[in-house]
Amino acid sequence: MTSESMELRREIAQGEARLTSDPLVAGAVHPCLDLMRSRRQTSPKRLVDPGPSEKQIHALFEAAAQAPDHGRIRPWRFVRVGAAARPDLGEAFASALRERDALAGPTQLRDARDKALRSPFLALAIARLDDAHAEIPAAERCVSLGCALQNMLLGAHALGYGAGLVSGQALHSRALLDLFGIEAGELAVCFIAVGTVSQDKPTRARPAPRDFVSSL
């Protein structure tokens, strides 16, 4: 625990911090901030079985549904990639590689296919950037998706799993667009992967507020 978080605890104990009347929320003052701080990105190659149960997956998507959504347009959707669909995803990754590099060899193609087998839970996050509701700009829609994803990442961490976001050039390939039925005006932004961490890594150093906050 840092001396700063100890100080914040003391402050709250002394009653300077205001708590809500909901004891669950009040009890969460620290755990939720601690949860954010102890969360880390886990690459899908380090996410193994067991993955979240169906009930837990439902809870993660319910957490996503709590994201701010200006205009209530729900500017995103998710497509899960179940176990049976992993070979199709592998073929799409291989096709995507061939689209980028016609000379890709068998080892590279096998590596591309193998990526589809990682992480017990995998879903594609798709932003809806179509012209409907033009008053809500694309940046706000992607911010809403980010809020949804952060809730899922924190939820997975709260349930004891590792999780990570992954993107890459394959996301915008013809093969991926076809497999996932991405429509005009939609954008495949990243995969979210959730599973048991096979090999833990330390949390990375985070920027200090002074690095990204200024004042008028």
CA–CA distance, 208 with 184 (Å, rounded to integer)? 39
Cβ 186 to a copy of itself, closest distance in Å? 11
Which of the ranges 60-68, 96-104, 105-113 carries the binding residues for a copy of itself, by CB under 8 A?
A: 60-68
Cβ 120 to a copy of itself, closest distance in Å? 13
- What single DSSP character describes residue 116? G
CA–CA distance, 175 with 93 (Å, rounded to integer)? 8
Site residue total, a copy of itself (CB under 8 A): 98
Find tokens 């992607």 and name the residue.
Answer: 142
> Is residue 162 within 8 Å of 195, Cβ to Cβ?
yes
Tokens of 41: 């990105």
Among 81, 170, 175, 176, binds a copy of itself (CB under 8 A): 81
Say whether residue 68 binds a copy of itself (CB under 8 A). Answer: yes
Applying the rule CB under 8 A, the residues between 5 and 34 that interact with a copy of itself are 7-8, 11, 16-20, 22, 24-34
Say whether residue 157 binds a copy of itself (CB under 8 A). Answer: yes
Say whether residue 160 binds a copy of itself (CB under 8 A). Answer: yes
Applying the rule CB under 8 A, the residues between 104 and 143 that interact with a copy of itself are 123, 127, 137-140, 142-143
> Is residue 59 within 8 Å of 169, Cβ to Cβ?
no
131 vs 211 by CB, closer to a copy of itself: 211
String of DSSP letters for 66-100: TS--GGG---EEEEE--GGGHHHHHHHHHHHHHHH
